[in-house]
Amino acid sequence: MNVNDSIAAIVSEQERFFHKGITREVGFRLQQLRKLRQVIIARESDIIRALRKDLNKGEQEAYTTEIGIVYKELSFIIKNLKGWAKPRRVKTALTHVGSRGMIYPEPYGKALIIAPWNYPWQLAISPLIGALAAGNTAIVKPSELTPAVSGLITSIIQETFPPEYVASVEGGPDVSTSLLEQPMDYIFFTGSTHVGRIVMEAAAKRLTPVTLELGGKSPCIVHEDAPLELAAQRVAFGKFTNAGQTCVAPDYLLVHSRVKEKFISHLKGSITSFYGQDPLTNIDYGRIVSKKHYDRLSSFLDNGNQRHGGRTDKDQLRIEPTILDDITWDMPVMEEEIFGPLCPILTYDDLNDAIRAINDRPKPLALYLFTDNEDVQDHVLSSISFGGGCVNDTLMHLATPYLPFGGVGESGMGAYHGEYSFHTFSHSKSVLKQTNRFDFKFRYPSKNGLAILKKLLKP
């Protein structure tokens, strides 16, 4: 059986399984989520080893950014799922006296989850949790660029679920293409804007609903009143975690000219504090995922003026945390999402100039602002459209299940995490339950009906 036939067979099996109605039972969903949690706990050390092998993630980083987030998501959803899944009563209009308006959350059916390579565990399993919580079946396509994690995801899914309920399909772009040709009921994609367009085009052929978690150049503004040492520490954390290969990493910095030199000094100190004098020998500092990405990032190293870092290790695919100063908007490093440990710094004197520069470009996935001035905070937040972000921090907005995580415009559509994951993978079915105890005659064709309706519905 070739790959297309194999994938088609899995989709057909999941179609039959879904129509049995088993996944609609909340008790079944909770049982499966608890089973998944137990298997993850039992194989936690395998996950850590696989992340080390693919991306050289240290144990602390692996737990913080990949495993711990999944545990939190599982616990939060298991705790709240019964309440979310209940039919919800809503208000009715005056013209509907005697009736009840209800919203029934129901699963879409077969969900396809295409995961990226940068957080290969978390960004495959977190959406899967939402899909199962909502009562769907699921096919997960892990990234071929992280083969150790991809194989482990397949192993864990096979250990936990029958393939007619949840399956993992490994392979390259040809496998993704084959999956996108299948009659799926929902598609959840995390990856680049370029591939996101391809996914959306494929989904449009069947009018399949999609969530697109994409990326873009996420700005970070450091205003003149920011606590510079703390800001530098939090920027370094957000920028260089996972060797900068984070969709919501601060892509570039806009630093007020009055504080630029002091900030750069503190940023250098934070890098040294985190990764030592020679990050290339730090066993817990991450590597670039592939030679292609390494070569692309290396080509940016001569942009502007290197203020820190810049050394590379081609054999190990590693690039030091690097600060690039004297950057201009027309340089290659500013033309695409960096997705690596290079930190370009631009300056501004007037905050409105910085806001205009950001708004002249596609809407970013994240925005970060460092200032203690609440008027400045309100001005920036009300002037710039972005997916999500932080004031006086980086990355941490995606680590809470109480906030939706997603993009806007070219940085994506839809959101998930916590309750938002449940609703993303659920269709809200509207139902009006009408009374039979009485009937309003004015809604039917009659001489007096129009006059009564005009009174009831007058503007």
Full DSSP string of 153-169: HHHHHHHHS-TTTEEE-
Q: In this predicted structure, what is the pLDDT of residue 343?
A: 98
* Residue 1 in this model has a pLDDT that exceeds 90: no
Count CA atoms closer than 13 A to 256's CA, side-chain side. 16
Place of tokens 């003149």: 224
CB 71 within 8 A of CB 65: no
Q: Give the whole-angstrom CA distance, residue 71 versus residue 73.
A: 5
CB 84 within 8 A of CB 112: no
State CA 295 to chain mean position distance: 26
Q: In this predicted structure, what is the pLDDT of residue 403?
A: 97
Rounded to 5 degrees, φ, ψ at 182 are -85, 155
Is residue 456 very low, low, confident or very high in pLDDT (cuts 50, 70, 90)? confident
Mean pLDDT of 41-69: 97
Whole-prediction pTM: 0.95
Q: Give the whole-angstrom CA distance, residue 47 versus residue 14.
A: 27
Write out pLDDT tens, residues 299-316. Answer: 999 999 999 999 999 999
Mean pLDDT of 416-420: 97
CB 267 within 8 A of CB 235: yes
Q: In this predicted structure, what is the pLDDT of residue 445?
A: 87
CB crowding 116-127: b at 16 or more within 10 Å, else e: bbbbbbbbbbbb
* Residue 95 in this model has a pLDDT that exceeds 90: no
Q: In this predicted structure, what is the pLDDT of residue 94?
A: 74
Q: In this predicted structure, what is the pLDDT of residue 346?
A: 98
Which range (81-95, 209-223, 383-397, 443-457) has the least confidence?
A: 443-457
CB 186 within 8 A of CB 208: yes
Mean pLDDT of 322-343: 97
Which range (210-219, 381-390, 408-417, 437-446) has the least confidence?
A: 437-446
- Taking the CB of residue 66, how many other CB atoms lie within 10 A of it? 24
Per DSSP, the chain holds a count of helices (H) and strands (E) of: 16, 20
- Per DSSP, the three-state class of 447 is coil
- Per DSSP, the three-state class of 49 is helix
Q: In this predicted structure, what is the pLDDT of residue 96?
A: 85
The DSSP line for 89-115 is: EE---GGGTT-EEEEEEEE-SEEEEE-
Is residue 178 very low, low, confident or very high in pLDDT (cuts 50, 70, 90)? very high
Cβ-proximal residues to 183 (8 Å cutoff; 6+ apart), any chain: 11, 15, 110, 206
Q: Give the whole-angstrom CA distance, residue 222 versus residue 369.
A: 6
Average pLDDT along the chain: 96
Mean pLDDT of 184-209: 97
Percent of the chain with pLDDT over 70: 100
Percent of the chain with pLDDT over 90: 92
* Residue 443 in this model has a pLDDT that exceeds 90: no
Is residue 457 very low, low, confident or very high in pLDDT (cuts 50, 70, 90)? confident
Exposed / middle / buried, residue 204 (Cβ in 10 Å: 0-12, 13-18, 19+): exposed
Task: Identify the CATH assignment for 219-402 out of 3.40.309.10, 3.40.640.10, 3.40.220.10, 1.10.540.10.
Answer: 3.40.309.10
The encoded tokens of residue 233 equal: 């520490």
The residue type found at 286 is G
Name the CATH superfamily, with its identifier, for domain 3-214+409-431.
Aldehyde Dehydrogenase; Chain A, domain 1 (3.40.605.10)
Which range (4-8, 10-14, 228-232, 383-387) has the least confidence?
A: 4-8
Domain ranges of the chain: 3-214+409-431, 219-402
Annotated catalytic residue, options 247, 320, 343, 390:
247
Q: Which of 116, 135, 71 is nearest to 247 (CA)?
A: 116
* Residue 442 in this model has a pLDDT that exceeds 80: no
Higher pLDDT, 459 or 156: 156
Is residue 63 very low, low, confident or very high in pLDDT (cuts 50, 70, 90)? very high
Is 220 one of the annotated active-site residues of the chain?
A: no
CB 290 within 8 A of CB 317: yes
* DSSP one-letter code for 289: S
The residue type found at 369 is L
- Per DSSP, the three-state class of 185 is coil
Cβ-proximal residues to 315 (8 Å cutoff; 6+ apart), any chain: none
Task: Please give the helix or strand (H or E) that residue 274 lies within, else none.
Answer: helix 260-275
Mean pLDDT of 251-264: 98
- Per DSSP, the three-state class of 254 is strand
Is 390 one of the annotated active-site residues of the chain?
A: no
Annotated catalytic residue, options 61, 66, 73, 213:
213
Is residue 39 very low, low, confident or very high in pLDDT (cuts 50, 70, 90)? very high
